[in-house]
């Protein structure tokens, strides 16, 4: 692993070209995924290691991306925490977590008992992947997981979670601590099972202003990554820690304190000023607007080049700024992969 293109880019070492993978690369835009989903629902796919493995490999085969990411969902630990969740297609919780009593009732499961299917899927994928393609394990960041638990699904103003933060901070912190412990176990065990990078998705942290980000999101991310670091050291492995910071323009410098080695960004800001704020220690991942893949191949190539120019050749993993849209033509995803490969090779040569 430590020699893959992806790993070297994460470590900010010189690379012959910029590696690329695509958030939600295993998903609804792929006809082979939809064919499989016609036979098994979303949760069954997450819970069945053979299916999760097959779906994880689909985009590697079709797109020739430089990393695989496990097919799973950030909410898979919820049932073991004592919370039922359904998908249709977005997540829905029949009984959101709202009170101090609800929080106290949450269990903090060990991932080996709670989500053994995730760990088994990782073992299967590792056996199936070529040596040159590392496998990224992931989990939801504690604040984002807490947001789902409190809102109970999608939301317009996210007033339930924010109402909790502002009207009852001790309960909010108790919830975040439970989410943090659950996620730490899940991500650390994925590394033990063979994941070669550990990613946290903090999709909703952008709901917070800078002070609240530092109070309610950052410390719990730090704890999860500390646990990953410990497990990696125990195993004698170098495991990149990737933090996807959604809508992070207001508190980017705080990402330096998360313990991440790579920060994933959405398309809302240019990578050049972002890197200036993140400092020289961190690699970046991103950040093409996923909707660009709805445009022409010429537009895709032009915009891919613009992202590469912004990012520079060192410490950059190309990605979209958010998950690939379901209506994206798969050929356009391939155009992007080829464009990044060609354009970044030429630059280095």
d(CA 45, CA 43): 5
**Any catalytic annotation for residue 37?**
yes
Strands 262-265 and 241-245: parallel
Q: How many residues in the shown chain lie near its own copies by CB under 8 A?
A: 39
Tell me if 238 contacts its own copies by CB under 8 A: no
Tell me if 165 contacts its own copies by CB under 8 A: yes
Containing 346, the helix (H) or strand (E) segment is helix 330-348
Q: Are the C-beta atoms of residues 260 and 300 closer than 8 Å to each other?
A: no
Q: Are the C-beta atoms of residues 216 and 179 closer than 8 Å to each other?
A: no
The one among 289, 301, 312, 338 contacting its own copies by CB under 8 A: 289
d(CA 212, CA 306): 33
The one among 156, 236, 280, 349 contacting its own copies by CB under 8 A: 156
Tell me if 324 contacts its own copies by CB under 8 A: no
Q: State the nearest-atom distance from the C-beta of 198 to its own copies, in Å.
A: 26
> Which residue's structure tokens are 């950030």?
74
Closer CB to its own copies, residue 1 or residue 85? Answer: 85
**Any catalytic annotation for residue 28?**
yes
Q: How far is CA 280 from CA 12, 65, 88, in A?
A: 9, 26, 42
- What is the distance in angstroms between the CA of the first residue and the CA of the last residue of the chain? 24
CB under 8 A: which stretch of 27-35, 51-59, 94-102, 268-276 binds its own copies? 268-276
CB under 8 A: which stretch of 21-29, 66-74, 149-157, 223-231 binds its own copies? 149-157
The one among 210, 331, 346, 348 contacting its own copies by CB under 8 A: 210
Burial 126-160 (b: 16+ CB within 10 A, else e): beebeeebbbbbbbbbbbbbbbbbbbbeebeebeb
Q: Are the C-beta atoms of residues 260 and 198 closer than 8 Å to each other?
A: no
Q: State the nearest-atom distance from the C-beta of 42 to its own copies, in Å.
A: 17
Q: State the nearest-atom distance from the C-beta of 330 to its own copies, in Å.
A: 16
Q: How far is CA 76 from CA 18, 91, 154, 169, 184, in A?
A: 32, 11, 17, 26, 14
Tell me if 294 contacts its own copies by CB under 8 A: yes
Closer CB to its own copies, residue 100 or residue 306? Answer: 306
Structure tokens at 231: 């497990």
Tell me if 260 contacts its own copies by CB under 8 A: no
CB under 8 A: which stretch of 33-41, 134-142, 153-161, 229-237 binds its own copies? 153-161
Q: State the nearest-atom distance from the C-beta of 296 to its own copies, in Å.
A: 7
Tell me if 166 contacts its own copies by CB under 8 A: yes
- Residues with catalytic roles: 24, 28, 37, 73, 148
The residues that touch its own copies, with contacts defined as CB under 8 A, are: 154, 156-159, 162-163, 165-167, 206, 208-212, 247-251, 267-270, 287, 289-292, 294-296, 299, 306, 321-322, 325, 327
């Amino acid at each position: 692993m430590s020699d893959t293109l992806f790993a070297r880019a994460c470590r900010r070492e010189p690379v012959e070209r910029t590696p690329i993978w695509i958030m939600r690369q295993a998903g609804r835009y792929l006809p082979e995924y939809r064919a499989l989903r016609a036979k098994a629902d979303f949760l069954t796919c997450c819970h069945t290691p053979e299916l999760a493995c097959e779906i994880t490999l689909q985009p590697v085969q079709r797109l020739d991306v430089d990393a695989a990411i496990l097919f799973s969902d950030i909410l898979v630990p919820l049932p073991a925490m004592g919370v039922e969740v359904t998908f249709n297609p977005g997540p829905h919780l029949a009984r959101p977590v709202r009170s101090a009593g609800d929080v106290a009732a949450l269990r903090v499961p060990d991932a080996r008992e709670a989500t053994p299917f995730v760990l088994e899927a990782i073992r299967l994928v590792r056996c199936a992947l070529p040596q040159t393609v590392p496998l990224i394990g992931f989990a939801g960041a504690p604040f984002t997981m807490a947001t789902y638990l409190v809102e109970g699904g999608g939301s317009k103003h996210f007033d339930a979670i924010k109402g909790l933060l502002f009207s009852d901070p001790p309960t909010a912190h108790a919830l975040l601590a439970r989410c943090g412990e659950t996620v730490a176990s899940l991500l650390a065990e994925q590394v033990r099972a063979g994941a070669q990078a550990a990613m946290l998705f903090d999709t909703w942290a952008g709901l917070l202003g800078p002070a609240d980000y530092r109070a309610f999101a950052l410390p719990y991310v730090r704890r999860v990554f500390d646990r990953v670091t410990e497990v990696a050291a125990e195993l004698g492995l170098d495991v990149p820690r990737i933090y996807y910071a959604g809508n992070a323009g207001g508190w980017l410098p705080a990402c330096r304190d998360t313990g991440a080695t790579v920060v994933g960004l959405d398309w809302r800001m240019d990578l050049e000023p972002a890197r200036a704020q993140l400092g020289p220690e961190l690699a970046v991942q991103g950040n093409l607007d996923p909707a660009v893949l709805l445009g022409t191949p010429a537009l895709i190539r032009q915009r891919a080049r613009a992202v590469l120019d912004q990012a520079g050749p060192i410490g950059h993993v190309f990605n979209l700024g958010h998950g690939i849209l379901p209506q994206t033509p798969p050929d356009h995803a391939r155009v992007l992969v080829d464009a990044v490969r060609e354009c970044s090779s030429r630059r280095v040569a």
